[in-house]
Amino acid sequence: MTKSELIMRLAEANPHLYQRDVERIVSTIFEEISNALENGDRVEVRGFGSFSIKRRDARAGRNPRTGDAVTVSEKCVPYFKTGKQLRERLNPSS
């Protein structure tokens, strides 16, 4: 499912809304999550999951093609942890 398919589904389920409003709702949600992560904040949506930032220290890496040593500078990566309820939905038997 792509973002536009998600918008289509929501528009079908909410015929009283303009499609452009549905688009703005979906964009706002993901933009709000992105903004929080950009500020270094955590996002916690119970039942769905949480987003946080993990810091990766600078390290000595290697160009896998040439074998040359390169330094990889410190970086931050977004991390998602699946919420309990969603994990259980994915694994109904256990």
> What is the contact surface with other proteins in residues (CB under 8 A)?
1-3, 6, 9-10, 13-14, 21, 24-26, 28-34, 36-49, 51, 53, 73-80, 82, 86-87, 89-91, 94
Cα 1 from Cα 64, distance rounded (Å): 34
- Nearest Cα neighbor of 90 from 42, 49, 43 is 49
Closer by beta carbon to other proteins, 42 or else 62: 42
Least distance CB 18 / other proteins (angstroms): 9
Nearest 5°: phi and psi at 72? -100, 120
Closer by beta carbon to other proteins, 67 or else 90: 90
Is the CB of residue 48 less than 8 Å from the CB of residue 17?
Answer: no
Closer by beta carbon to other proteins, 70 or else 86: 86
- Nearest Cα neighbor of 86 from 52, 56, 50 is 50
Least distance CB 85 / other proteins (angstroms): 8
